[in-house]
Amino acid sequence: MPVDKIRVQGDSRVKHESATVNGRKYGYLLSQPESGRYRATIFLIHGFPDLSMGWRYQIPMLVDMGLRVVAPDCLGYGRTDAPDDVAEYGHKSCADDIKALANHLGESKIILGGHDWGAFLAYRISLWHPDLITHLFTVCVPHTGLKKDFISLEDLVRVAPNLTYQVQFASGELEKVIKSRKEIKQLLTALYGGRTPDGKTGFTVEEGLLLDRYMTLKPQRLLSEEELEYYATEFSRNGVHGPLNWYRTRKVNFDDEESIVGRKITIPTLFIQALRDPVLPPHLSKSMREEIPGVIMKSVDTAHWALLEKPAEVNAIISGWLKDIVFAGRPAEKL
């Protein structure tokens, strides 16, 4: 059975809102039950190269469960500001922004979900602002804890070659060639699984974007043509420099996090592992039970884009967790 999803254009169930917090303008999607009454507010944080609309399969389900949904475009993306200063993309800075946005919307407590970089940021929000988050769920990216010693990206990929593409993303090389809307559209096609007429990919984790090939890619299956056009338009607002800045923050984040090394995430947490993610193989999640006591771990047989590849399975896991853990023993009328 098809899973209900938000249409990228003209769907009355979502509003495109904006707010300025900490001197930065954030665009976000807002959706809530028609009655205006809701059990709690949930924030959904996307990754790269995605947008707030990356949660389009999950938003209707969450609203049907009585939640108010807030899905921001992260810093650098879509309708949100894209500053040049890499320091502004540090996780503490972005965590502070999410807290400020929650406060702007009248919330001192939220449920939090994240995918890809959004999952990485969600862990950091929970560490920097533990009083803000009541429950946490993440998809694909496990929490591996905070590091006592700095490891450069170059040193990291020597032991984790599946992350080598990040060297290209951080280098500045892509901004020099990905400028036009057509080039942005083909970048997105490559990263969402597009292939050439003879079946070759336009991206590998060992090399990154294959610049000699990506412009020849044919449409992929995860985004419809309407969705791809929407994404290309949103990414064209400020180009790819802002989104790629997230790959340049290792030292910023390390310096910020020195003061919280050893801190654990103690709130109820769900982690959904994608079993065929080439960047994040399952063995990387082995330490999560040490880092997040009591974490519930589930899996789906997908590659990296689990939210889009198998939305019914992902939604069943999230909704079950909400019923059994988040709302257990709490009648709706008292929420």
3-class SS shares of the chain: helix, strand, coil, % to 5: 40, 15, 40
Cα separation, 160 vs 153, whole angstroms: 10
Cα separation, 81 vs 76, whole angstroms: 6
Query: 138 CB contacts (<8 Å, ≥6 apart)?
Result: 113, 114, 115, 119, 122, 123, 269, 270, 271, 272
CA proximity to 272, closest of 296, 293, 303: 296
Cα separation, 168 vs 157, whole angstroms: 12
Active-site residue 304, yes or no? yes
The answer to whether the beta carbons of residues 38 and 67 sit under 8 Å apart is yes
Which of 50, 81, 97, 116 is the catalytic position?
Answer: 116
Which helix H or strand E contains 331, and what residues bound it?
A: none
Q: What is the CA radius of gyration of the chain?
A: 19
Active-site residue 131, yes or no? no
Report the catalytic residues. 116, 304
